[in-house]
Structure 1
Amino acid sequence: MLKLFYRGFSSSARAFDRHVVYLTLFSKNQCGLCDNFKNSMRTLLAKEEFVDRLHYRIVDIDEPRNKEWWDNYCFDVPVLHIEDANSESLYKVFHRFNDKDVSNKIKLLL
């Protein structure tokens, strides 16, 4: 009986599995555009259609452990990576946050 329950639960869990998109914001200190981008991201992440479907993190490129990102983006921040690990799709948004554009890119991956 327990085995049947487990099997049923496992099937149900897969049926409700929702695709997740990973968002990485590359930012640095003393960056007004970065602060604006972070505020816009808070609003976007609060949208009901995206709740629990997005994994968001901020990478401070000023930190020594993030030297690779400093070398890539020191003059380009803020930069947002929107990626789907399953398909290896990656979109990059540079400098200015456009809510509609970012939302559309996320929806393409969901």
Structure 2
Amino acid sequence: MRPSLALASRLANIQLTLFTRANCGLCDVAKARIGEFLTKNDNNNKGTIKNENKDENNSKSKSSRVVHYAEIDIMDPAHSKWRDVYEFDVPVLHVDRSGAGKLGEPSQDFVPTLDAARKLMHRFTAQEVENAVVEVEQQQKQRGSGSDSASASSL
């Protein structure tokens, strides 16, 4: 059975983007905390988790949240823009509401920006990642219901 378009439009599409670099101990810890969140999210919400770095899909029946995850190595010459911004601040996690493509898939043209809905820097826990995701989801719901008072928080 295929999910309906109405169901897909109700799913919260969340994009997690970790800005990292090689030989970064804090980055390794951050990846572990994100992994804990993704595992918990998969178990609790039965959502689809797509790791865009490994081209793997762990699909189960969708509930309320679809999380897409990507890592950006700021030392890669192709990402010099991000090196200029975050060279001395990694790890940095951007939590955004991603543009949804067909049936909850991420839009192919999603590009992280400096004004992410929520950012976590240096040290964070799986619970802090969860809290940031919930905050972004709530901001989206407020905007969707016509509330102009909702503002994106940036750290």
Task: Compute the TM-score of the two structures, normalised by the length of structure 2.
Answer: 0.58
Is this contact kept in 2: 1:62–1:70, CA < 8 A? Answer: yes
Name the residue aligned to 1:29. 22
After superposition, residues 1-110 of structure 1 pair within 5 angstroms as: 13-17=4-8, 18-47=11-40, 48=43, 49=45, 51-52=47-48, 53-85=66-98, 90-110=117-137
Structure 2: tracts of 5 or more residues without a match: 49-65, 100-114, 138-155
Higher helix share: 1
Structure 1's unaligned 5+ residue stretches are 1-8
Q: How well do the aligned residues superpose, as a CA RMSD in angstroms?
A: 2.1
Larger radius of gyration: 1
| Preserved CA contact (<8 Å) 2:95 2:119 | yes
**Residue 96 of structure 1 aligns to a residue in which SS?**
coil
TM-score by length of 1: 0.80
Q: Distance in 1 between matches of 2:36 and 2:21?
A: 20
What do the CA deviations read for 1:48-99 (whole angstroms, capped 9, x no partner)? 227321010000011000000000000000000001145x861000000222
Identity of aligned residues (%): 34
Q: Which runs of 4+ in 1 moved over 3 A?
A: none
| 8 A Cα contact 2:94 2:116, kept in partner | no
